Structure 1
Amino acid sequence: MNYQANLEQVTHRIRAAEQRFKRSEGSVKLLAVSKTKPIEAVNALAELGQTAFGENYLQESLDKIAQRPDLEWHFIGPIQSNKTKPIAEHFNWVQSVDRLKIAQRLSRQRPPELPALNILLQVNISQEDTKSGFSPQELLEQVEQVTQLPNLVLRGLMAIPKAETEFDQQRAALAEMFDLFQQVKLKLRTPDFDTLSMGMSGDLEAAIAEGSTMVRIGTDLFGARNYAL
């Protein structure tokens, strides 16, 4: 696996999209989604300068964090209530906070000696039954409650829109997310609220066109996953 070539190619796509859609250079951060990949793959990208990694599976991720506590670790998978304690104790960011109860548990369980936990609220922007997340209305009603929780910093929003192949169709749902992000930003008026995590390998350019500040890329960096392993 040529990790250097993969990272260069993904970085080029991000920078080209920034330029094409008149975004500031370097305004979009890359999150390397390392779920199911071994620590050796993480180390290879880290040696090339990649610092932020996303994980979905708790036990697998805890093993990696123990070996590379110097990296920035984001939990991006579904969160069960009985898993919030180790997530609160070991991660730097949690992107998949999909309901108020999870935020409350993370707040209570974040060790006070650690920096506040950065969180994103996951929005089910396409209103899909198979996906979790706040509806836009729930988000606007509950977001201020989240900001009052101790030991957390609400950094922004995350979404996984319905998969579309046409560029304009991709942009439609992503534009809705950006509008919602702006509404919440205006409501909260806090400089900490600065992150809009949306865009993966298939819709990276559309996401950057619509204001994403963080894209989550896995396969294009690490190669295809074998979930049977």
Structure 2
Amino acid sequence: MNLTEHYNQLYKTSSEIISAGKYSIDSELKNESDSRFGITLLIRPNDEIKANIEAFINELKKAEPEQYFYPDSDIHITVMSIISCSDKFTLNQISPNEYIEVICRSMVDVEKIKIHYKGITASPSAIMIQGFPSDETLNNLRNRLRENFKNSGLQQSIDSRYEISTAHSTVMRFQEKLQNPKKLIEITEKFRDYDFGEFEVKNLELVYNDWYQRKSTTRVLGDFGLR
């Protein structure tokens, strides 16, 4: 997949939808009884990158203070959604150590993963930072995870919603009617090609998480260092 083309098309379509007032509101964000949980392997950006993202989030907050913004602690890149969030899944259904073993096997010979955060894109219900891996290392790891989990016999739902191929981070979701959709798009245009920086991934986390990766409900099951 050409990530630049993918992000560009996503932004073009979604910015038009938002400007026209036809965006989507995520009604589950305020649902305190939301019980959708899953298992995810993820990357977290470093503090320098988070500070750059925070400056962008602050601009968004000025225009749309009633929306949902990801705190520093929750910003992430999904490497693989191993078990998609569902209200039918609970942690006691699996043995986390078996999942850790498959991930360790998949990570043999995986060396540096670098991600460049440059520009923003959007969906009809969210604003995201565009992430670009520096080479094929992340995609190769994903393919190994797919193959090894498929052959493991363990409960998994990899690629059941869509086949993951991007490296974006969601930073804002719409939980209320937008006050000024056109102003929001003006801000996203300003940051459309903004360079948030590049970072080398030091570790991956396997987490038991809710739909929004909130720190308060997340449980770290495994931490995998990279060379």
TM-score (norm: length of structure 1): 0.26
More helix by share: 1
Say which structure, 1 or 2, has more relative contact order (CA 8 Å, 6+ apart). 2
TM-score (norm: length of structure 2): 0.26
